[in-house]
Amino acid sequence: MRILIVGASGTIGRAVVAELGTRHEIISAGRSTGDVQMDITDSRSIHAVFEKVGPIDALVSTTGKVKFAPFETMEAADYEIGLKDKLLGQVNLVLIGRHYLSDGGSFTLTTGVLDSDPIREGTSASMVNGAINAFVMAAAIEMPRWMRINAVSPGVITEAMKDYAPFFRGFEPVPAARAALAYAKSVEGAQTGRVYRVL
């Protein structure tokens, strides 16, 4: 398969590239790195990348920003960061990408454990992750040309604990390589409308 991985240089993205790259052709995309550069907040940038890479069999997104801050300090503009980036950015990858994806191809988006296990300062992440999960389940029943769509919701990643440990006390971290297996299941399997939780 030809697989476009958006966010390929990130912690999870690198693990997904390592998992799928032994069996498939990988096209890596990032905001400033990779085979192609893409800003998921800009639909023109998404269109340009799809035009450049041509038909693909799968798209994996392991990217998306949200703001972590105490709820009492959060304003509408703070929530818009996650809404425009992680939520609408990934939704636009599907809306635009469906015109380039091969028949029977798949989309795999990324959410996270905060969709169901919230933490302090994580209201934006919980909101966005839950919305993406709902989008995936609903879109799956209307995907054209036998396409599939799933989400992976990993726990906090072991390799990221040096930055996130204070927020995730008591959480058992998940190695990136183990999370990558869920992305392989989504890409290479047959299921659709699923949220794969890796805890």
> 30-54, pLDDT tens digit by residue?
999 999 999 999 999 999 999 999 9
Burial classification of residue 91, based on how many CB atoms lie within 10 Å of its CB (0-12 exposed, 13-18 middle, 19 or more buried): middle
DSSP 24: S
CATH number at residue 33: 3.40.50.720
> How would DSSP label each residue in 134-165?
HHHHHHGGG-STT-EEEEEEE--BGGGHHHHG
> What pTM, to 2 d.p., does this model score?
0.97
Q: How confident is the model at residue 143 (pLDDT cuts 50, 70, 90)?
A: very high
Could you tell me how far CA 77 lies from the centroid of its own chain?
22
* Total domain count, the chain: 1
CB 72 within 8 A of CB 28: no
**What's the mean per-residue pLDDT of the chain?**
98
Which residues span the domain enclosing 22? 2-198
